[in-house]
Chain A
Amino acid sequence: MTMESTDMTQALSAPRSRKVSLPFARLGYGAAALALLAATGVLEGYELFLASSILSYAIAAMGLNVLMGYNGQISLGHGAFFAIGAYAAAICIDRFAVPFALTPVIAGIVGMGAGWLIGKPALRLEGVYLALATFGLAIATPTVLRSDLFAEWTGGVQGLFLLINPAPEWAGLDLDQSIYLAVVGYFLLFAFLTLRLVRGLNGKAWIATRDNPIAARAMGFDVTRAKTRAFVFSVLACSVGGALQAVAVQFVAPDSFPFFLSISLFTAVVVGGLCSPLVGPLLGAVFIVMVPNVTEEIWQGGSWAVYGGVIIAIMAIQPRGLAGMLGWVKGKLTTHTNRKQQTGRNRPC
């Protein structure tokens, strides 16, 4: 064996791809992380808010991509978990004066609990049935949030304004910068978790379950456990994303979580590119946050027609979404890349 032992971190992928891509990939990730951190000093005010917003949607999309891309389950209701995370964070701040940077942890725990409760029965459903059941969740969410029953905690129709304290003075950060840095921290954490899981045996279990559940069982994969883990991870990411979004906006209200939010998250995952673990969700988040604003400028009043048209165009050109387009461009630029891997249309992951 000639290819052994220099680097064992990628033992789960085949030797050649490991050899060529790993050092470059490491450098790329490091540079990207530094750039995100450095942006704290470059961007200001509204730009920082936009960036925080995009990254918190990207966290949610990363998780949802594990569920939809890697594990092949369709959800049209993850906006509900985004809302649960947002409200958990808001109540933590409003009631218990929890430091804002810690609220995603609590939101994540609350969200996972809800995800597990809902996931248990929901995961008996497959394909369009799961999609519809989760969609029901999304539709019910705003009404529940608005209801007088919980108004004492949720603020009812009015919602909650959040009083957020910036980082301590010695850190020299204003409020926008403090929030942005916390968001970047969670984003990097989820990027790391997602990559490790997706490239590890859990990723194999997710893909095997999606590709051929019968063969997956015959190979000893616990299909139910794989599905549950994907679902719970997606819910965790969505509730953390929701918490960070609430912190960034400093306000939650039922109208911030319409069922359309679930469709937006779905759109971010698919338009970004299924099974591109980081780049896809990030591009997808940029898409759902920025594109509606841009199209509004192009054609006031008709912006949704433009937005819809762009979605259709992307899917027609490259079903693997924006990440797929980026990969295609990269393939054109680098000559040494293996043809087979670039052209493998049947290889979403």
Chain B
Amino acid sequence: MRQNGNPLLEVRDLIIRFGGVVALNEISLEIHEQEILGLIGPNGAGKTTLFNCLSRLYRQSSGDILVRGETITPLGAEDMAARGIGRTFQNIALFETMTVYENVLTGAQFAMNGGLAADIFNGAKVRRERAETRERIMHLLSLLDLADIADHTIADQNFAVRKRIEFARALAAKPSLLMLDEPAGGLNREEVRHLEDLIRQVRDEFKVAVLLVEHHLNLVMKVSDRVVAMDFGQKIADGLPHEVRAHPQVLRAYLGEEAA
């Protein structure tokens, strides 16, 4: 697309085994700058495993992952925020005792001065940096309709709100690639429509690429520029949304044998 040179993210022949289970079997894919890539597949297909590998929480058995042409294989999970890879978690992984604001702040902190001296002396430069970050976070909170509950704890929030907080926390890191693991899980129809607009808006405003894992096929087909389908750890289709939707193997994976 708007690409010359290396793609934003390139996954090459990724294999992950858990004991006897091959969770990812020679997965290869590419994501370009500001592209929305939908990733679909039945439960257990390996989508979350791929996310965990991209965020370096899991290590692959073989294969390579490149960000703008450079491998991230040797890096740890704590390095990924600085590499521009942000994510949300399928089962919500917020910091339960922090407020909504503080949770979102944790997304931004990796780029801030968090040294002992910075905290203790709290000099003008540190204060300015922190005030600027606060302004940016308050903007994110309003964008995601969270400003009113900024100083409430997570414990009081329902599942849909928690998903939005995770979304905001991931965005606070100014990622180039935002990975969303089932963001529509637990949302009602209205909220799903809203999410659809939000994903596009976020892509345009923050210039991020989005890797969207979602069971809600309508949502994926509508917002994605391109869709990859997986089953049993393997890639079974890669193309434009309507192509993938009509792909025989995808139909079989989703609707069972009798439909094929």
Contact = CB atoms under 8 A, between A and B. Distances in A.
Interface in A192-221: 193, 196-197, 199-205, 207-208, 211-212, 214-221
Contact of A15 (B78, B151, B153): B151
A124 interface: no
A219 B118 contact: no
A9 interface: yes
A5 interface: yes
Interface stretch (A39-47, A158-166, A242-250, A340-348): A340-348
Interface stretch (B95-103, B189-197, B223-231, B241-249): B95-103
A138 B136 CA distance: 48
A116 to B, nearest CB: 14
Interface residues on A, range: 35 or more
Given A12-B130, A196-B120, A202 B114 contact: yes
A146 interface: no
B77 A4 contact: no
A219 B55 CA distance: 10
A11 B150 CA distance: 13
Given A11-B131, A12-B130, A202-B119, A222 B78 contact: yes
Interface residues of B, number: 51
Contacts of B150: 14-16
Contact of B106 (A11, A13, A208, A346): A208
A200 B95 contact: no
Interface string B189-230: 000000000000000000000000000000000000000000
Contacts of B106: 204, 208, 216, 219, 221
A217 B134 contact: no
Contacts of A348: 97
B100 A214 contact: no
Nearest to B121: A196
A340 B135 contact: no
Given A8-B130, A14-B150, A204 B101 contact: no
Contact of A218 (B87, B98, B130): B87
Contact of B76 (A11, A12, A217): A217
B122 A14 contact: no
A201 B115 CA distance: 8
A1 interface: yes
A221 B109 contact: yes
A341 B152 CA distance: 7
B135 A1 contact: yes
Counting chain B CB atoms within 10 Å of each CB, the highest count among A193, A202, A207, A211 belongs to A211
Contacts of B255: none
A202 B116 contact: yes
A219 B169 contact: yes
B93 A14 contact: no
B131 A13 contact: no
Contact of A201 (B97, B114, B128): B114
B77 A217 contact: yes
Interface string B48-85: 00000001010000000000000000001111111000
A217 B130 contact: no
Interface string A267-293: 000000000000000000000000000
B112 interface: yes
A220 B151 contact: no
Q: What are the nearest 8 A-B pairs in CB distance?
A: A200-B119, A220-B110, A14-B151, A220-B81, A11-B130, A201-B114, A14-B101, A215-B93
29 contacts: A4-B131, A8-B127, A8-B131, A12-B102, A12-B105, A13-B102, A15-B101, A16-B150, A196-B119, A201-B109, A201-B118, A204-B102, A204-B105, A207-B97, A207-B98, A208-B98, A208-B106, A212-B93, A219-B81, A220-B78, A220-B110, A221-B106, A221-B110, A222-B78, A340-B153, A344-B153, A345-B155, A346-B155, A347-B97
